[in-house]
């Protein structure tokens, strides 16, 4: 689901040729938080690379046709792998469309969402509705547990509607996810076995992409919350068709049970893919709030009180999906940099320094 935002960006940025100065082959000037940067993939759209609890592996989604897939499937890698001439191991079924994988604490299983129960084929991806960009909210997405051989060992959701965008608490006891089971796109939590499901956001609008803080006490997420009568009508009309418009989103923060909810950013445009800095005192996220034509998207950091906004990356196309390793020493993210003018979005891993 979250990776579909790449498609929105590349439509605009395909012909954009970077003129930003570089201080190395991959690192642009002023990207002072990167001690080094390594490209991991070299084709297709690759995103949402999430670390295992021991920081030894990552799991990510890709639609690289050279790897024998027609739409997003899940692949696993060791943290030091590079796939310029090789192919990672696919660990999803290869059926339907998948999204939002995340390791379980044992490092031998993971959760992800898939549409395969409804259809083995890839569902269509509508990107425009009445001239506006949209994301599909597939009601066939459910959340599953799989081992690293691709064998599904459990199904965590079976409600009618969209269930996806799941991540796991650093304590390994809770899962947060987005669902339409109540008719809106809200956040829910459940135990690691799928029990004790609780709704934790209730305002009208799309709440998604939630991540826990390092101590598990808070959640950061993106939201597009309609305010005016026109916005509300448009939002509800699209949702009735299984669609949302992702071009205006802000970040919200709350306790892990949904209490003390507050808006963190008020920047305009699309602010999304937020994660906590390892200190738990800042948020790293992707935004195009400085853009005039929809791009570029860059990474920014902001304090939990909404102050001290700083820019981390300085590209002219697309940087998003940042995720820190649990020891805080590395950052995985997706970028259009170094794609030789293609539409490819690849994975990169940086050595991080504050």
Kind plus residue range of the DSSP H or E element containing 300: strand 298-303
Q: What is the rounded CA–CA span in Å between residue 49 and residue 299?
A: 16
Terminal CA-CA length for the chain: 30
Instruction: Tell me the per-residue pLDDT of 147-185, one tens digit each, with 9 for 90 and over.
Output: 999 999 999 999 999 999 999 999 999 999 999 999 999
pLDDT above 70 covers what percent of the chain?
94
Predicted local confidence at residue 125, as pLDDT:
87
pLDDT band (50, 70, 90) for residue 212: very high
Q: What is the rounded CA–CA span in Å between residue 167 and residue 103?
A: 9
Do the Cβ atoms of 285 and 273 come closer than 8 Å?
Answer: yes
Instruction: Tell me the per-residue pLDDT of 314-328, one tens digit each, with 9 for 90 and over.
Output: 999 999 999 999 999
Please give the model's pTM, rounded to 2 decimal places: 0.94
The residue whose two tokens read 């890839």 is 122
Per-residue pLDDT at 218 exceeds 80: yes
Instruction: Tell me the per-residue pLDDT of 286-298, one tens digit each, with 9 for 90 and over.
Output: 999 999 878 899 9
What is the biggest distance separating any 2 CA atoms in the chain, rounded to whole angstroms? 53
Per-residue pLDDT at 43 exceeds 70: yes
Per-residue pLDDT at 9 exceeds 80: no
Kindly provide the b/e burial profile for residues 164-183, where b requires at least 16 CB atoms within 10 angstroms of the residue's own CB.
bbbbbbbeeebbbbbbbeee
Instruction: Tell me the per-residue pLDDT of 118-139, one tens digit each, with 9 for 90 and over.
Output: 999 999 987 777 777 899 999 9
pLDDT above 90 covers what percent of the chain?
87
DSSP 8-state secondary structure symbol assigned to residue 57:
E
Predicted local confidence at residue 292, as pLDDT:
83
Q: What are the backbone dihedrals phi and psi of residue 248, each rounded to the nearest 5 degrees, phi first?
A: -135, 105
CATH architecture of the region 4-352: 6 Propeller (2.120)
Q: Where do the domains of the chain lie?
A: 4-352
DSSP character string of 118-151? T-SSPPP---EETTEE-EE--TT-EEEEEETTS-
Beta bridge partners of 315: none
């Amino acid at each position: 689901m979250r990776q579909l935002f790449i498609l929105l960006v590349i439509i605009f940025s395909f012909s954009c040729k970077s003129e930003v100065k570089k201080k190395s082959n991959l690192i642009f000037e002023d990207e002072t938080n990167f001690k080094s940067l390594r490209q991991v993939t070299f084709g297709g759209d690759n995103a949402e690379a999430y670390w295992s609890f021991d920081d030894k592996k990552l799991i990510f989604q890709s639609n690289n046709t050279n790897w024998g897939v027609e739409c997003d499937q899940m692949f696993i890698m060791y943290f030091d792998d590079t796939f310029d001439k090789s192919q990672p191991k696919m660990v999803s079924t290869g059926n339907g469309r998948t999204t939002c994988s995340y390791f379980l604490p044992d490092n031998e299983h993971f959760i992800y969402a898939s549409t395969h129960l409804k259809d083995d084929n890839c569902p269509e991806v509508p990107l425009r509705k009445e001239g506006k960009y949209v994301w599909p909210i597939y009601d066939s997405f459910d959340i599953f547990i799989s081992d690293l051989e691709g064998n599904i060992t459990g199904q965590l959701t079976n409600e009618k509607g969209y269930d996806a965008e799941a991540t796991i608490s650093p304590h390994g006891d809770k899962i947060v996810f987005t669902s339409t089971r109540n008719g809106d796109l809200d956040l829910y939590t459940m135990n690691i076995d799928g029990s004790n499901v609780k709704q934790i956001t209730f305002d009208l609008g799309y709440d998604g992409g939630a991540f826990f803080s390092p101590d598990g006490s808070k959640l950061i997420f993106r939201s597009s919350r309609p305010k005016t009568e026109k916005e509300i009508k448009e939002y509800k009309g699209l949702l009735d068709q299984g669609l949302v418009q992702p071009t205006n989103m802000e970040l919200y923060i709350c306790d892990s049970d949904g209490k003390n909810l507050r808006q963190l950013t008020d920047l305009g445009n699309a602010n999304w893919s937020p994660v906590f800095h390892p200190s738990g005192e800042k948020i790293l996220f992707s935004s195009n709030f400085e853009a005039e034509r929809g791009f570029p998207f860059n990474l920014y950091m902001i304090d939990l009180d909404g102050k001290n906004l700083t820019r981390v990356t300085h590209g002219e196309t697309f940087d998003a999906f940042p995720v820190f390793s649990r020891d805080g020493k590395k950052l995985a993210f997706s970028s259009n940099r170094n794609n030789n003018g293609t539409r490819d979005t690849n994975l990169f891993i940086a050595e991080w320094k504050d």
